[in-house]
Amino acid sequence: MTFASGLLLVAACFGLTALLVQYLFVLRHRREPPRPLPESARRPGISILKPLCGVDDDLEANLEQFARLDYAGEYEVVLGVKDARDAAFAVARAAVARWPGVMRLELQEGEPGLNPKVNQLITLADRARHDLLVISDSNTRVGAGYLEEIAAGFADPRVGCVTHPVSGIGERSFGSLLDNLYLCSSAAAGMIAAKRCANQDIVVGKSMALRREDVDALGGFFSVKDVLAEDYVIGQWVTRKLGRTVVVARTPVFNVSLRKSVSAFFQRYLRWSVIHRTAVSPGTYLAQSLLNPVPLALSGAVLVPSPTAGMVATAVVVGKVALDLLTVRALRPQPVPWDAVPGVLVKDVLLFLAWWHGLVFRTVDWRGTKLRVAPGTRLVPLRAPVAVQTSTLDAGDELLDLAS
């Protein structure tokens, strides 16, 4: 028991040290100036593909921002819904009426696969007018120079994909606070550290830019119609199949989460744990538990209580809370709320439980359909859909923190 307690405490300290290194990579990444695109350079035409499913928090405001992007070139926003029964249809139609020169609305054709977001992307890519495609989720907002930074990335012909870290903003409920803390401190930070420390590419579907020719070379979006983590898989294929590089932009995109419940947060990461486990090796999945050191430290202190164990556990808890909050401050413009300190601890406990869930289970209940998640996050149906769903099409970002 003493050995087990000591091992848990050592593992927690190791994980905390790794998180400190991760935070330093985030600071370095954020302080570097974005790659400039000369004023004289030709701005490529850009088609922003936005699959919609239901009315997200502040959807109208999210769409309005994309209608007013500061880009010197030509761009369009192609909105998609599965059919006119979707609650987002009326919002999308109103946006097109308000900004007809920028926005268009397309209805999905057919249902070729099990991933509903990809089903829409197949139609949207076919209808897009430009050859630089930007996949952007409906619950996101972006910073100044968003399209300029993407265009600058593709000025290098070796680049095959530009993606962005994802920061969470807007919380008005405790569940949304947990979600936004996680996106900043684990997902975005892990994505940046993976690229800078190990040159590992974690592509996030909340903002993923690709050349049409490269999408076609990979078999189109049709090639990932039955893959849940289509963003991660496409990112891997860009480097392994096409021999191109992935750029992680300096500026985050902002996931707007206002009123999510704690239960909804926990259910999402129960699904994430299954998807994550099927995307990485068992050794990697086990090692990633070190980056959630608070439960490890508390378990070690409780297993064999002693003043030394208590001091170590306390130091780990304080250090983890401090690093999470510092990372959040580095990755979003919104101030850190007063309840973020207990939020960090609740988040970490729930994520620890979800991590154990991923060791055992291989099925998810996703938008009314029971699916088995096979290796590589391939989807296998177990039963037919039971209801029309109206939640955000953000399944691809379940692997946001594959570096964590």
What is the model's pTM?
0.89
Q: pLDDT digit string (tens) for 148-163?
A: 999 999 999 999 999 9
Domain interval for residue 245: 28-256
Q: pLDDT digit string (tens) for 296-323?
A: 999 999 999 999 999 999 999 999 999 9
* Domain presence at residue 12: yes
Alpha-carbon distances, residue 246 vs 79, 200, 223, 236 (angstroms): 25, 9, 19, 9
Looking at the fold, whether 198 and 328 belong to one and the same domain comes out as no
Domain count, the chain: 2
Looking at the fold, whether 11 and 158 belong to one and the same domain comes out as no
Alpha-carbon distances, residue 227 vs 116, 370, 380, 381 (angstroms): 10, 14, 9, 12
Encoded tokens for 23: 């935070």
DSSP characters for 66-135?
Answer: HHT---SS-EEEEEEESSTTSTHHHHHHHHHHH-TTTEEEEEPP---SS-HHHHHHHHHHHH-SSSEEEE
* CATH, residue 171: 3.90.550.10
Q: pLDDT digit string (tens) for 229-287?
A: 899 999 999 999 999 999 999 999 999 999 999 999 999 899 889 988 888 888 888 98
Q: Return the amino acid letter for 5.
A: S
* Domain presence at residue 396: no
DSSP characters for 267-298?
Answer: HHHHHHHHHHHHHS-HHHHHHGGGG-HHHHHH
Stated length of the chain: 404
* Domain presence at residue 403: no
Encoded tokens for 156: 């290098």
Measuring CA to CA, which residue among 393, 122, 176, 115 is closest to residue 106? 122
Looking at the fold, whether 34 and 163 belong to one and the same domain comes out as yes
Looking at the fold, whether 33 and 16 belong to one and the same domain comes out as no
Measuring CA to CA, which residue among 353, 367, 354 is closest to residue 395? 367
